[in-house]
């Protein structure tokens, strides 16, 4: 089991660099930075993190194949890899249709676009002259002018076809989930894709990209995670909610409360214990360790502690290091 941590660059980059250095000191293996147009640029942020850390691996968690050309993505992550002394990881996934709609970008053939983009990026990173006539991604002899070094490629994936593709073409897969039930199916789909490509499924790092909240006071930890869980419920397919015994009708009510900014209602009982259990790793160190062990048993090989981390980020990072990673 390895441990990653996720930060959203909504905070100032130097503040994230401080958190990343603290995570490195606590024994985290990876730090992942999200890529959304409305936050600070992911590659600029990764560069600052690279210059303020020494050993922790740094990755996009995750970028997408629509907002940047595959050659530009390859050049960006290769530059971060050079600056960091070979510590870069590229996390890439199909992204979110609603986000692209707001940006005026067509979300066409996400499975094909992701597969063809990864194929091209691998070529660029290998120093090849890339000629590719795909359905969505085309190049005519493009080549990078500097050596990239070895950059692992992780896929952000949720649906069955994307999970299979991750098993086929990626070094690891980042799955937005916190509960063993969600990984029972996912691990099998990843393994199926790996076997289709003639790979050993154990070659693929299976990362649980979790909503994580830890504190010595379980109630405080849960309180910090409720709003994040509300957003997860509001964006979950009915099939996922039903898997956890949650009435899909609750999704509309929670979505309406979020739209109105009525976070008091969310904290006042709309987000149930069942939702918290399904969509977060939350509570005391012992509570969190119990869930992590369950995920390990099901086939997860990396835990990524994502937002909110806890009532206090610094204390949470230190608590995870002391009580979980370094036990």
Report pLDDT for 54: 98
Cα gap 196→82, rounded to integer Å:
33
Residue indicated by tokens 């039903």? 242
* Rounded Cα–Cα distance for residues 177 and 184 (Å): 11
Token code pair at residue 96:
């979110």
**What domains can be seen in the chain, in order of their start residue?**
2-222+279-325 (3.20.20.30)
Distance CA 23, CA 321 (A): 8
The 10s digit of each residue's pLDDT in 229-266 is 999 999 888 989 999 999 999 999 999 999 888 888 88
Summarize pLDDT for 46-88 with one digit per residue, the tens: 999 999 999 999 999 999 999 999 999 999 999 999 999 999 9
Q: Which pTM was predicted?
A: 0.95
At residue 2 the predicted structure's pLDDT band, cuts being 50, 70 and 90, is very high
Whether the per-residue pLDDT at 96 is higher than 90: the answer is no
Residue 190's contacts (CB-CB under 8 Å, 6 or more residues apart) are: 163, 164, 166, 167, 173, 201, 204, 206
The reported pLDDT for the residue numbered 267 is 83
* In contact, 62 and 68? CB cutoff 8 Å: no
What's the burial of 21, exposed, middle or buried (CB within 10 Å: 0-12/13-18/19+)? middle
pLDDT(213) > 90: yes
pLDDT of residue 266: 84
Cis peptide before 216 (omega within 30 of 0): no
């Amino acid at each position: 089991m390895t441990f990653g941590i996720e930060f959203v660059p909504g905070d100032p980059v130097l503040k994230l660099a401080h958190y990343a250095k603290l995570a490195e000191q606590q024994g985290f293996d990876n730090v992942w930075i999200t890529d959304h147009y409305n936050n600070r640029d992911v590659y600029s942020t990764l560069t600052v993190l690279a210059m303020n850390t020494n050993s922790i691996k740094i990755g996009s968690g995750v970028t997408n194949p629509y907002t940047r050309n595959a050659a530009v993505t390859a050049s960006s992550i290769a530059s971060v890899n050079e600056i960091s002394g070979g510590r870069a990881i590229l996390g890439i996934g199909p992204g979110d249709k609603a986000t692209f709609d707001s940006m005026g970008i067509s979300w066409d053939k996400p499975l094909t676009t992701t597969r063809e983009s990864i194929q091209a990026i691998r070529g660029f990173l290998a120093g090849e002259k890339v000629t590719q006539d795909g359905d969505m991604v085309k190049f005519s002899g493009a080549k990078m002018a500097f050596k990239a070094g070895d950059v692992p490629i992780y896929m952000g994936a949720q649906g069955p076809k994307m999970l299979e593709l991750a098993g086929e073409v990626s070094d690891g897969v980042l799955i937005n989930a916190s509960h063993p039930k969600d990984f029972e199916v996912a691990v099998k789909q990843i393994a199926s894709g790996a076997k289709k490509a003639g790979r050993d499924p154990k070659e693929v790092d299976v990362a649980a990209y979790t909503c994580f909240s830890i504190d010595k006071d379980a109630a405080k930890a849960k309180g910090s995670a409720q709003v994040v869980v509300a957003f997860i419920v509001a964006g979950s397919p009915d099939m996922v909610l039903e898997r956890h015994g949650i009435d899909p009708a609750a999704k509309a009510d929670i979505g309406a409360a979020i739209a109105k900014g009525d976070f008091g209602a969310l904290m006042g009982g709309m987000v149930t214990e069942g939702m918290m259990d399904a969509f977060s790793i939350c509570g005391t160190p012992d509570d969190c360790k119990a869930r992590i062990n369950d995920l390990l048993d099901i086939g997860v090989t990396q835990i990524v502690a994502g937002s909110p981390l806890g009532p206090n980020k610094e204390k949470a990072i230190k608590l995870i290091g002391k009580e979980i990673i370094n036990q």
